[in-house]
Amino acid sequence: MNLIDKWTADLRYLPYTQWSDTYQHFLLDTVQNSHWRLNYHIQPESGLLNDPNGFSYFDGKWQLFYQFYPMGPVHGVKSWAHVSSKNLVDWKTEGIALLPDSDYDQHGVYSGSGIVVDDELVLAYTGNVRDSKWERASYQMLARMDKEGKIMKEKKPIIPSPPEGYTHEFRDPQVFHHQETYWLLIGAQTDELEGKVLVYSGESLETLTFDGPLDFSDQSMGFMVECPNLVFIDDHPVFLFCAQGLDKTVMAYQNIYPNAYIVADALSHDGLSLINPSPLANLDAGFDVYATQAFNAPDGRALSVSWIGLPEVAYPSDSEGWAHCLSIIKELHLQDGHLYQKPIKEVVELRQDKTSFEGTLAQRPTTIAAQTDNCYELMLDLPANSQGKLHLYSDPQRDHSLTIDFDTKNGMITLDRSRVSHVFAQEYGTTRTLAIEKNRSLSLQIFVDRSVCEIFVNDGQAVLTARVFPTENENGLFLEGHSGHFSGNIWRLRKMMND
């Protein structure tokens, strides 16, 4: 038996029940044998994962859902898969929560959000339907989960069609409660093919009415805005979104589509504008972050989780029957108007044995660890006024590795994945460069998990995320450079528990 190599539209939209057991077993086996499988990141059991959905806290547990197509590493007919957690690091697999099985969502249960109302977790999602001419219709739907975990879909859409002047590229509702009102933000496109975000509000989720487009920038937002998401941090609205086709003069980026954010002073009373919005900024300075979802948790934190993957880009794990994962959970802060993203404090629960190291940066590379199992957390402090290179995922000769070039004198770091064994997405560039403060020491906190790497710079001032697909012997850690003293710690991290 072979994996499918020609994914026609007919195959991608075939109902799950029509796939043979033999194929599904073969696929699961193939995925289980992949040496790129992850230890502590949420990943699909088989097939493709994309956006995080419905991130919330309900029934004494963290609840998280994601876009899921189980039959192969392609964007087929989507469901919501469900995981839950007591500690934000061990995620229990709960199975498929929302199947594409109604007249309003038969070609995909698309992205959305979750909000606790009374005793239920209400899930708002987009039902995607194609007609015989393959024209899209988008319906905004609700489902309710009770404390037994039973989920019931509402029969009729709460928003049956986009308003006048907008196309059916209309999806990803975010619902939230603010100033005694329920709000719904949604990604949209005008008939002139401009990306917009639309605002609905009402006394309940069942009685929302259309208010108008959200005013959050004077610039054009490209042809479509996906996954709009507003959170409040220290009373400031922080708006996350994905502007497809955004002009690079509005914000510099290299990925196919950017995940951007804006920090504002306030949300106007009518909910239609962000007051004094900052210019757009790139949420992740690396290669693979999209569709980040954040929410204001009941414990006061603003928590976020990202899809580590991008639309329309092929990844090496496709050949092993699966694609993509979610990021670790991050906590958002504002400091001097700048957004900080830090790993949540709970990640320390993954730590196992610790090794400390220190030395002087030298041209002859220092071995931090000759061989790892590519599953660790590394904290590294580098001196001001120095230059050098950190090799992750390195073979012993350092011919193949993911490198971080740092220059703390001139204030620059470059993440370079051009020399790892399985190079991919080269058309979007193989390096990402980030400006950092000059003449200042640099601290890196790096999470490596088999084929994913998340790099937090200077306590969360910036994050660079990358998928990396090493071969078996690409697992060393080396540091080279000149001038100054470095020190750090490395912890082996355990697997997440998923039952």
Please give the Cα distance from 338 to 316 (Å, whole number).
35
Q: Which is nearer to ligand FRU, 3 or 256 (CB)?
A: 256
Question: How many chain residues are in contact with ligand FRU, going by CB under 6 A?
Answer: 14
Q: Pick from 153, 171, 400, 419: which binds ligand FRU (CB under 6 A)?
A: 171
Q: Which is nearer to ligand FRU, 202 or 311 (CB)?
A: 311
Q: Which is nearer to ligand FRU, 283 or 457 (CB)?
A: 283
Please give the Cα distance from 69 to 72 (Å, whole number).
7
CB of 127 to ligand FRU, least distance (A): 10
Told to check if 311 binds ligand FRU by CB under 6 A, we report yes
Q: Which is nearer to ligand FRU, 67 or 341 (CB)?
A: 67
Please give the Cα distance from 384 to 408 (Å, whole number).
5
CB of 242 to ligand FRU, least distance (A): 7
The Cβ of residue 35 has, within 10 Å, a number of other Cβ atoms equal to: 13
Please give the Cα distance from 288 to 311 (Å, whole number).
10
Buried residues in 255-264 as b, exposed as e (16+ CB within 10 A): bebbbbbbbb
CB of 419 to ligand FRU, least distance (A): 29
Q: Which is nearer to ligand FRU, 140 or 475 (CB)?
A: 140
CB of 67 to ligand FRU, least distance (A): 4
CB of 297 to ligand FRU, least distance (A): 23
Active site residue 51: yes
Among the listed residues 29, 51, 235, 373, the single catalytic one is: 51
Q: Pick from 78, 107, 236, 422: which binds ligand FRU (CB under 6 A)?
A: 78
Please give the Cα distance from 201 to 209 (Å, whole number).
6
Q: Pick from 90, 105, 226, 474: which binds ligand FRU (CB under 6 A)?
A: 226
Residues 318-377 within binding reach of ligand FRU (CB under 6 A): none
Residues 98-117 within binding reach of ligand FRU (CB under 6 A): 110-111
CB of 296 to ligand FRU, least distance (A): 22
Q: What would the x/- binding string for ligand FRU be over residues 24 to 63, using CB under 6 A?
A: --------------------------xx------------
Q: Which is nearer to ligand FRU, 172 or 377 (CB)?
A: 172
CB of 266 to ligand FRU, least distance (A): 27
Q: Which is nearer to ligand FRU, 124 or 329 (CB)?
A: 124
Told to check if 77 binds ligand FRU by CB under 6 A, we report no
CB of 339 to ligand FRU, least distance (A): 21
Q: Which is nearer to ligand FRU, 258 or 476 (CB)?
A: 258
Q: What would the x/- binding string for ligand FRU be over residues 396 to 435, using CB under 6 A?
A: ----------------------------------------
Please give the Cα distance from 129 to 108 (Å, whole number).
7
The Cβ of residue 396 has, within 10 Å, a number of other Cβ atoms equal to: 13
Gyration radius of the chain's alpha carbons: 22
Told to check if 196 binds ligand FRU by CB under 6 A, we report no
CB of 385 to ligand FRU, least distance (A): 42
Told to check if 67 binds ligand FRU by CB under 6 A, we report yes
- Assign 3-class secondary structure to the chain: CCCCCCCCHHHHCCCHHHCCHHHHHHHHHHHHCCCCCCCCCCCCCCEEEEEEEEEEEECCEEEEEEEEECCCCCCCCCEEEEEEECCCCCCEEEEEEECCCCCCCCCCEEEEEEEEECCEEEEEEEEEEECCCCCEEEEEEEEEECCCCCEEECCCCCECCCCCCECCCCEEEEEEEECCEEEEEEEEEECCCCEEEEEEEECCHHHCEEEEECECCCCCCCCEEEEEEEEEECCEEEEEEEEECCCCCCCCCCCCCCEEEEECCEECCCCCEEECCCCCEECCCCCCEEEEEEEECCCCCEEEEEEECCCCCCCHHHHHCEECEECCCEEEEEECCEEEEEECHHHHHHEEEEEEEEEECCCCCEEEECCCCCEEEEEEEECCCCEEEEEEEECCCCCCCEEEEEECCCCEEEEECCCCCCCCCHHHCCEEEEECCCCCCEEEEEEEECCEEEEEECCCCEEEEEECCCCCCCCEEEEEEECCEEEEEEEEECCCCCC
Q: Which is nearer to ligand FRU, 126 or 201 (CB)?
A: 126
Q: Which is nearer to ligand FRU, 226 or 454 (CB)?
A: 226
Q: Pick from 172, 320, 377, 454: which binds ligand FRU (CB under 6 A)?
A: 172
CB of 290 to ligand FRU, least distance (A): 6
Residues 263-302 within binding reach of ligand FRU (CB under 6 A): 290-291
Instruction: Output the six-digit token pair for 161.
Output: 């069609």
Residues that bind ligand FRU (CB under 6 A): 50-51, 67, 78, 110-111, 126, 171-172, 226-227, 290-291, 311
**Catalytic residue set:** 51
